[in-house]
Structure 1
């Protein structure tokens, strides 16, 4: 399935139906009064989160979305039928912005959450509405209000428990493949992953978490270099960060500091998230060197950052990594639940 995380759409809510001028004409009602009904309301355009969707691909097939206009009012004060609403279904984590101003109109996070992005116009009043003691025979009615027309950008921010952070070819895709059923393209060259991948990690039958393989970050990604900003925004909604640094890197500590710089430059709050470092590709080392690796490189990293040597290809250290991540995820979920209860 192709992943698509940004789509531009034009939406148009329905116009309100016009009110009408009409008069009562019953046989035994002399000098019948006004009976023109109000027009129906125009349909609105809504966005609703659907947990069965994972990409914005469906929206790319229809770039124009229109709701129905309201019907005109009828005789005998009958209100016109309202236009049908239109609901655009999107994955949870979708943000809707005005395409021209960049203003955020809303976002849907929980399954079933629904927001209105273009409200239908109200139906106009018929002449019966204007009858009063000082005006027994009103001869005017209102047109319906026009609907709203908007050009919007839909952005999807992945919602995952763990976000993988690393430069291209760090071994992130191989790690997701080894831990889950996800099958991102894997090869020994940079930028193999060009779209985010999600993997479900099973700790036990009833204990799971979702891992997001974010495409490789490059230096100055926070300034938009490469596809940096497009990818960095997916990290915002993850609870835990896993930095993946291959032990084949020239300077492990410097690579970590560069990654931290890119994240902090994009959003300083990202580094408040709990994070760990996976030292990948340890299968290139001799067995006795692997055991000593954390102690040898510890001075290159902050004291409070756990270092976990792994080899996804050789299936080494993955169980310890899984449990360490789940411990962080569980704590983050507990903190989130407590905050929601107190809110």
Structure 2
């Protein structure tokens, strides 16, 4: 069964050809040698992507990957310009980056309604009206239209969220997201329950809210492609604050945190510049003495809190910490 979440596609784009200019000569009763009056050709149709906040996946591009813009119209007599080719508008989720065949960034969509031309239509040719002069009063030639861009474009989606959940498989990320939002991610007691990112709106005090993303679990070696590899690590790049989750039944808390941090560093060292919070999940099985022992194993340069998504322990305190980090 294929997932409905698609975050990486390649599409073939060919913008429209520019229309040819006209080499018309003015013809009218009682007017001898009216002169050139050929109009310009129309612009070829562009291929444009537009941010749509109602979209969250690139799934539709899995079934249609070839897009062709229409050609511009020919110029006409009486200096009439040909019609522009019809543009192709493609709705994409917010957070999409478009790259050309060499991997260079064409642009990125960060706002609802934002437009980005990924393949530009060819310019229409000039009509013979443009080539008249004192010494060349009756030019009988016009320019042909130019070709539009033709290229393969890569669309890459990076989830936009305020808080990204980082942790090993089965750390309790999906359970936490379902406890603090209306999101209903798949939850089970085996690794890699989450195979696609999930987003949830977390309600805070005084009707405020922020967005939390459940990123599929990381394992040691993920930056080199092990497990789910770095397929989903890129989504973490767009999160303002990273919430590390380590379960209370972990064998070595400090080691798990360092492995997670190391994988992020190897993938993109700039991730270390993001705000970080550490939460020990499933802490309903811990007493105060065990919590104190756990804290001794963890670094002191990161805020650490204990939570239980089942009993609600520490959830409000966690929201307070995250809110403060987001608005620091």
TM-score by length of 2: 0.95
- Select between 300-309 and 237-246 the one with higher mean Cα deviation: 300-309
1:44, distance to aligned residue in structure 2 (A): 1.3
Q: Which residue is 2:35 aligned to?
A: 33
Q: Is the contact between residue 16 and residue 68 of structure 2 (CA under 8 Å) also seen in structure 1?
A: yes
SS at match of 1:136: coil
What is the aligned length?
326
Change (3 A) 1:205 1:57: farther
Q: Which runs of 5+ in 1 are unaligned?
A: 332-343
Question: Cα offset for 1:205?
Answer: 4.5
Measure, in 2, the Cα distance between the counterparts of 1:25 and 1:262.
75
- Listed as ranges, the matches of 1:106-121 within 5 Å are 106-121=107-122
* Structure 1 segment 264-279 matched on structure 2, within 5 A: 264-279=265-280
1:194-343 to structure 2, matched below 5 A, reads 194-285=195-286, 289=287, 291-331=288-328
Counterpart-to-counterpart distance in 1, 2:103 and 2:160: 22
1:67 deviates by: 1.8
Contact 1:294-1:307 within 8 A present in 2 as well = no
Residue 130 of structure 1 is matched in structure 2 by 131
In the other structure, the counterpart of 2:19 is 17
Matches within 5 A, 1:128-167: 128-167=129-168
| 1: CA distance, partners of 2:146 / 2:206 | 56
DSSP-derived class of the 1:256 partner:
helix
Q: Which moved more, 1:48-57 or 1:242-251?
A: 48-57
C-alpha distance in 1 between matches for 2:54 and 2:12: 24
Extract structure 1 runs of 4+ deviating beyond 4 A: none
Tell me how far apart the structure 2 counterparts of residues 177 and 39 of structure 1 sit (CA, whole Å). Answer: 57
Structure-2 change in CA distance of 1:246 and 1:181 (3 Å): same
Provide the C-alpha distance between the structure 1 equivalents of 2:124 and 2:315, rounded to a whole number of angstroms. 62
Output one character per residue of 1:127-167: Cα deviation in whole Å (capped at 9) or x when no partner.
Answer: 22211111112121111000001101101101101000001
Moved more, 22-31 or 157-166: 22-31
- For 2:230 and 2:144, how far apart are their aligned partners in 1? 46
Query: How far, CA to CA, are the matches of 2:72 and 2:289 in structure 1?
Result: 73
3-state secondary structure, aligned to 1:161: strand
**SS of equivalent residue, structure 2 residue 179:** helix
SS in 1 for 2:48: strand
Query: Which of 79, 91, 94 lines up with 2:93 in the alignment?
Result: 91
TM-score after normalising by structure 1: 0.91
User: SS at the partner of 2:327?
Assistant: helix
Q: What does the per-residue CA deviation read over 1:205-249, in whole Å, with 9 as the maximum and x for residues that have no partner?
A: 421011000000111111222322111100011111111101211
Distance 1:181 1:258 in 2: 31
The more displaced of 166-175 and 320-329 is: 320-329
| CA distance in 1: counterparts of 2:186 and 2:160, whole angstroms | 21
Query: 2:44 aligned with 1:42, yes or no?
Result: yes
